[in-house]
Structures are given as C-alpha cells and as structure tokens.
Amino acid sequence: MMTTPLQLSAEVRDAFERGRPVVALESTIIAHGLPRPRNLELAGELEELVRSGGAVPATIAVLDGKARIGLGKGELERVALQDGLRKLGVRDLAPALALGTSGATTVSGTAFLAARVGIRVFATGGLGGVHRDWVADQDESADLGLLARTRVTVVCAGVKSILDVPATLQRLETLSVPVVGYRTDAFPGFYLHSSGLPLDWTVQSPEQVAEVMRAQDALGRDASALVVANPVPRSQQLDPALHDRVLAEALEAARAAGVRGQAVTPFLLAHLVEHTAGASLEANLAAVRGNVRLAAAIAAAFAATRAARP
Ligand code: PSU
Ligand code: MN
C-alpha cells in the first residue's frame, strides 16, 4: 500500500506548526521555461524573495515518485539541471508517483499539490491557456480547469502572447474563475505591462487581495481559485513594437517549420529569446520576481487577517 505520497520540507513543516505564511512556487518554469544556468540562479533567488517578504517558500516538484512540498538546495539543483525531467500536469501526478518518476509540476500540478497540503498562495510567471490553433487541435491548458475547482490564489503576469489571450480570458469567465488586476484595469501581457484587454476588477493592496480571499471563503461556493494579474512594470517590459514584430515572425517560423503540439511553446519561446537578444528573457524574469514578491505580501496579509479574526 502506498504511504503518504506528499513530503513536506522541514522549513515548510515548521511554518505550518507556527502558523507562518507559505508561498508555493512552480517548478516547470525552472525546469522547462528558462535557459540554464539562469534557471538555477532564479530558483534560489525566488525562494529568497519569499523569505525577505516575510513568508516561507515551498517550491513543488515530484522527485523519484515523491511529491515534494519545499525543496532543499540539492533538490532545486536537480529540478534546474537534471536532463530528462518530465513536465507534470495534474493528471500526470498519479502515474508519476506510482512509477517513481521525477518531474517538474505545471501550474495545474503545483496548484493541486499546494491546495492539498493547505497552502493558499501560489506564485508563477504566466498561466497556461487557450492555444491559438485551438479550433484545430483543442489545446487548452489543464491549468484553466484546475483553477475552476481549486481554492488557491495564483499570482501571475497574465498569459504569454503566444497563446490566444482573449480566448483564455473568456474561458476563465466561463469557468467562473475570478480575475483581479493588481493596480491595473487591464489584463497584463506577460512580457508587456498590458495586453490591451480590460479586466472587470482591480485591487490596490495585498490586504485587499486577502479580503477577496476571505470573501470567497465566506461565500463558501464551489472552490474556485483567485487569479491575481500583476503586470511587469512598464520600465521593465519588452519594447512593445519589438514584441509584436518578433512574435509575428515566431508564429510564421513555427508554421513554416511545421512545429506542432507540445513542441510549439518551447519553439516560440526560444525564438523570442534569440530574436530579442535576450530582452524577452529579462522581461520574463522581472515579471516572475514581481509576482513572487506580491505573493509573499498577500500570504502575509492573509495570515494576519486569520490571526485577527479567529
Ligand atoms: N507559461 C510560461 N512558461 C511556462 C509555462 C507557461 O510562460 O513554463 C508552463 C506552466 O507550467 C504552465 C504550463 O502551467 O506551461 C502549461 O502547459 P500546458 O499548456 O501543457 O498545460
Ligand atoms: Mn497543452
């Protein structure tokens, strides 16, 4: 029989015992979303950002068939550097545990495991979403469905513009997942401060986000997530004209090369990094850092309201 498949790091266990705020961090962006060795540097840096924000980091991954909530240094190195690490969405978790597999978890896999152990706040870069050729291949990330049934607060910088951004926002509406802009009334464009698409709700502070989370709990409806859309600062965004030009070229190159399915996203992202001379990578890193800082502040504010209202 399988014993408890979830393993908490000592730091995370200690945080739970003391009632300290914890922030979950996704591992797929480390393993598959960023080039080496910047990915390993960033993994450590993100954990430090959470700690300096007054919370405890829990980077989540599956190693040798064990779901790990909080990673040590050597484990972070494996996630960043090990060849052949799988990409695990929520549906992959059971096979991975049963077969002793190692893999990085996507937003859907990470959010599921975080919620399962009672971590409420989760920081990532961009959500998965509806792909541009959805009509042909029905490729919509499992992230969206998982967020419709999981009580977790996800801080992100929107979705990458390689996806169909209006369709992704529409799906979030259909799935009844609330999306609030952090100090913005436009959905962020990941590399860009704004995607140009409007949002219905804006919040101004981590305390306000914590109030929305409290209201979700008080309503007690079916357990949807809360998406906090936090734009990269304009000063650190990719130049919008460069973004639009290189994205169009990347989409054309993918079409010409006949790239399909799971290979499309890595192809487009690599094209963007190369043809913006690394500027897209810098904007990507800035967005993720900003999300992690905000997530720590939200987790701290949420823990404070719990302390104030037993
Ligand atoms: N967006 C990014 N970088 C990423 C991802 C999304 O800018 O690395 C990853 C996240 O882990 C997200 C996943 O959850 O891709 C979605 O993959 P799929 O479309 O296969 O569900
Ligand atoms: Mn997909």
> Which pLDDT tens digit goes with each residue over 259-282?
987 788 889 989 999 999 999 999
> Which pLDDT tens digit goes with each residue over 132-189?
888 988 989 999 999 999 999 999 999 999 999 999 999 999 999 999 999 999 999 9
Distance (Å) from CA 30 to ligand 2 centroid: 18
160 is catalytic: yes
Does residue 2 have a pLDDT over 70? no
Closest ligand 1 atom to 142 CA: 21
Which residue's alpha carbon is nearest to atom 15 within ligand 1? 128
CB of 187 closer than 8 Å to CB of 158: yes
Surface-to-core class of residue 282, CB atoms within 10 Å of its CB (0-12 exposed, 13-18 middle, 19+ buried): middle
In angstroms, the Cα distances linking 192 to 163, 196, 287, 305 are 14, 10, 9, 33
Distance (Å) from CA 25 to ligand 2 centroid: 20
Closest ligand 1 atom to 105 CA: 11
Residue 3: predicted pLDDT = 63
Distance (Å) from CA 261 to ligand 2 centroid: 7
Pocket residues for ligand 1 (CB within 6 Å)? 26, 28-29, 32-33, 89, 106-107, 125-126, 128, 141-143, 160
pTM of the model: 0.96
Closest ligand 1 atom to 107 CA: 14
Q: How many residues does the chain have?
A: 310
Distance (Å) from CA 310 to ligand 1 centroid: 37
Token pair, residue 112, equals 């599921």
Which is catalytic among the residues 11, 26, 87, 274? 26
Q: Could you list which residues have their CB under 5 Å from ion ligand 2? A: 139
Phi/psi of residue 53, nearest 5 degrees: -85, 5
Nearest ligand by distance to the CA of 162: 1
> Which pLDDT tens digit goes with each residue over 209-253?
999 999 999 998 679 999 999 999 999 999 999 999 999 999 999
Instruction: Report domain extents, the chain.
Output: 6-230+292-308
Closest C-alpha among 27, 38, 20 to residue 280? 38
Q: Residue by residue, what is the 3-state secondary structure of the chain?
A: CCCCCEEECHHHHHHHHHCCCEEEECCHHHHCCCCCCHHHHHHHHHHHHHHHCCCEEEEEEEECCEEEECCCHHHHHHHHHCCCCEEECHHHHHHHHHHCCCEEECHHHHHHHHHHHCCCEEECCCCCCEECCHHHHCCECHHHHHHCCCCCEEEECECCCCECHHHHHHHHHHCCCCEEEECCCECCECCECCCCCECCEEECCHHHHHHHHHHHHHHCCCCCCEEEECCCCHHHCCCHHHHHHHHHHHHHHHHHHCCCHHHHHHHHHHHHHHHCCCHHHHHHHHHHHHHHHHHHHHHHHHHHHHHHCC
**Superfamily of structural domain 6-230+292-308:** Indigoidine synthase domain (3.40.1790.10)
